[in-house]
Amino acid sequence: MFRQEVLDRIKVITHSCVRIGGEKVIYIDPVGIKGAPHDADIIFFTHLHLDHFSPLEARKLMKDDTVIVAPKSMALPCRLFLSSKGNSHVMLVPGQETQISGIPVKAVAAYNNKKPFHPKGNGWLGYVLTIDGTDIYITGDTDITSECSSVSCDILMLPVGGFFTIDAAEAAQLTNTVAPHTVIPIHYGLCNGGKDAPERFRSRVNDGIITDIRPEVYNSIVLMMYVKAFAAAAAVFLITYLLLR
């Protein structure tokens, strides 16, 4: 059942980083965290890519008893980088349903059909969280799949940037199939769909579904990842050249 007060507690920090306030404070894929609030009761990770999994950012949020939730395939990096004396880890596989700190959670497969960026075999995830009777589905990085299309939810959050995931038109198609009360487009930016991606998306969403565009989503995170990767590769090349000359 859709509840406006639940929607009001959802904040998109940037990109795909989401905070859900309430009795339990929940973060999904924390990046772009300002300060170090250390207020997370639960942190969910959808997959291992650096624009979704940043241990340095997550540690700004962690308390002694924060629960880390991630795909089973991420168990090792989570334990290496996100373990403390009192916290716990919950590793899930697609289709699994459980309760975490009293919150019903369903893990939904998130993968590309043909693109190589998010292989199905990695077991990466989206999540359906039931909070105060409202089902919130954060798809993670995905294409249109049978698993995504069969989800029922009140609030949907999905990528619209394209290239690595579904684009605006495909996201609208998935939204119209799932038919939530409200949809929040995420995962778009300077090098990932452009600033007009959410409006292209909204223009294709069926009447009766509310499109809630959050301007905080737009970012240059993917561009900075490319820059850092290029700089690292250049540094390796230069060091190798100097050593072998």
Residue 138 has pLDDT above 90, yes or no: yes
* Residue 200, CA distances (Å) to 141, 152, 195, 213 in order: 19, 24, 10, 11
Residues 69-97 have pLDDT tens digits of: 999 999 999 999 999 888 999 999 999 99
- Name the residue among 96, 164, 153 with its Cα closest to residue 125: 96
Q: Which residues contact 118 (CB under 8 A, 6 or more apart)?
A: 47, 110, 111, 112, 124, 141, 142, 164, 165
Residues 199-223 have pLDDT tens digits of: 999 999 999 999 999 999 999 887 7
Per-residue DSSP letter, 206: P
Residue 153 has pLDDT above 90, yes or no: yes
Residues 168-184 have pLDDT tens digits of: 999 999 999 999 999 99
Tokens of 211: 């499109």
Quote the pLDDT of residue 96: 98
Structure confidence at residue 240 as a pLDDT band (50, 70, 90): confident
- Between CA 5 and CA 22 the distance in angstroms is 10
What structural domains and CATH numbers belong to the chain? 4-244 (3.60.15.10)
Quote the pLDDT of residue 226: 65
Q: pTM of the prediction?
A: 0.93
Quote the pLDDT of residue 69: 98
Residues 3-47 have pLDDT tens digits of: 999 999 999 999 999 999 999 999 999 999 999 999 999 999 999
- Burial class, 81, CB count within 10 angstroms (exposed 0-12 / middle 13-18 / buried 19+): middle
Question: Please, what is the average pLDDT of the chain?
Answer: 95
- Between CA 193 and CA 203 the distance in angstroms is 15
